[in-house]
Structure 1
Amino acid sequence: MKRIPKTISLFLTFMKIGLFTFGGGYAMIPLIHRETVDNKKWISDEDILEIIAIAESTPGPIAINAATFIGYRVSGFWGAFAATIGVALPSFVIITAISFILAEFQSIRWIQYAFNGIRAGVLALIVKALWSMYRQSPKGIFAYIIMLGAFAATAFLPVNVIFVILICAAAGIAQALIARRRNK
């Protein structure tokens, strides 16, 4: 049996991720990690952390950005195209279908119960993604201060997330420059 070309494999892999993950990009991170790092071995653990950080800080949905970055790294432009279409297509089709029957769909009690269960499952996936990213992140007093400051700013203050990301990036650069200067 012939091997499936990488672009088709990227499309199918990310379509599966898009089809079987509820709750948005953060809920997709564990599945993206399992499929691209563990199963396909397209990227490493270190790569996924960097890709998620970049995908999170660039405009657009994190899952689509991550699919685009991973697809490009694995198979160039066409890989990025295939992965992006693959991850977005299931949601597009499902939302289009649901929009035609939304009024009836909302009123069905067992559907409401199912979505309550799905929300709980999505929360678990987000916590797993958070834990995985925490384990792979650098540790130290500086990292913890940045993490707590960013959390406090976004959770308790009306601060735009873009400013928080920019300030965190600037703080990371400043810390690296200070560390480099100390080492010389």
Structure 2
Amino acid sequence: MQLIELFIAFFLAGLFSFGGGYAMVPLLQHEIVYRHGWMTAREFADQVGLAGIAPGPMAANIAVLTGHRVAGYAGAIVAMLGIVLPSLLLILLLGTLFFRYRDNRWVQASLYGLRPAVAGLIAYAAVSFAKSGGMLETISWFAASQLLLFAGALIALLVYRKHPVSVMIVSGLVGVALYS
């Protein structure tokens, strides 16, 4: 039964999420933490951090980690299939249609409408992680250092255009230095 629940949860997340791994995080969090109770919000935030630094697509990494935790290797495989299958089927269909109708004004308008929604989902994920990590509860050294680390990473990415992997490595090393 758990394998079926894993497949359905990740299939639906893959089917109804647009914008890539980080945009998918709020829906995955709802399914994994709140609907099924497979882990706590804090554990989910830690898992997303691990999935973000591992090679490969974020959503696939989250699926494998969650599936393995819930039902071992079979769970990892089932969750991975669930998250990937909707994209595979949908992109085959949409790819064919998109190249045929990409200059259509309705298609262009829908893409412009999706962009801010995806940005909102990513912002929601960031605030949700900050809450689960205790960053927004009180003003403490820990919360302030976390916000400074976030701001530094954001500046490195946006202003100095540093590679995301290098920013993640440096942030991890700073975390070890500050919090161990």
- Compute the TM-score of the two structures, normalised by the length of structure 1: 0.88
Aligned partner (choices 148, 154, 174) of residue 145 of structure 1: 148
Aligned residues: CA RMSD:
1.4
- Taking the aligned partners of 2:83 and 2:15, their CA distance within structure 1 comes to 8
Residues 1:158 and 2:161 are matched in the alignment: yes
Q: Is 1:55 matched with 2:51?
A: yes
Aligned mates of 2:68, 2:26 — CA distance in 1? 20
Q: Using the alignment, how far apart are the partners of 2:63 and 2:168 within structure 1?
A: 21
8 Å CA contact 2:67–2:76 kept in 1: the answer is yes
Cα deviation, 1:92-147, whole Å, max 9, x if unaligned, reads 11111222233322122212212222222212211111110111225333222211
Give the match for residue 43 of structure 1: 39
1:32 maps to which residue? Answer: 28
The two structures have a TM-score, normalised by structure 2, of 0.90
Query: 2:134 & 2:171 partners in 1: Cα distance?
Result: 14
- Find the aligned partners of 1:27 and 1:156 in 2 and give their Cα distance: 22
**2: distance between equivalents of 1:6 and 1:63?**
19
**Identity of aligned pairs, percent?**
31
The total of aligned residue pairs comes to 173
Q: CA deviation at 1:57?
A: 0.9
What amino acid does structure 2 have at the position aligned with 1:162? V
For residues 20-75 of structure 1, the C-alpha deviation after alignment (integer angstroms, 9 at most, x for no partner) is 11111111111001111111111111111111110111111111111111111111
Distance, in Å, in 2 between the alignment partners of 1:128 and 1:142 is 21
* Structure-1 residue corresponding to 2:179: 176
Hey, what's the Cα distance between the residues in 2 that align with 1:160 and 1:137?
25
CA change 1:125–1:160 in 2 (3 A) is same
**In 2, Cα distance between the equivalents of 1:138 and 1:39?**
22
Compare CA radii of gyration and give the structure with the larger one. Answer: 1
Ranges in structure 1 where 5+ consecutive residues have no aligned partner: 178-184
1:126-182 residue CA offsets vs partner (Å, 9 max, x unmatched):
1111110111225333222211111111111132221211111111111234xxxxx
Return the alpha-carbon distance in structure 2 between the equivalents of residues 24 and 18 of structure 1: 10
State the partner residue of 1:80.
76
Partner in structure 2 of residue 115 of structure 1 = 111
Greater CA drift, 102-111 or 33-42: 102-111
Q: Bigger CA drift: 21-30 or 91-100?
A: 91-100
Of 9, 14, 28, the match for 1:13:
9
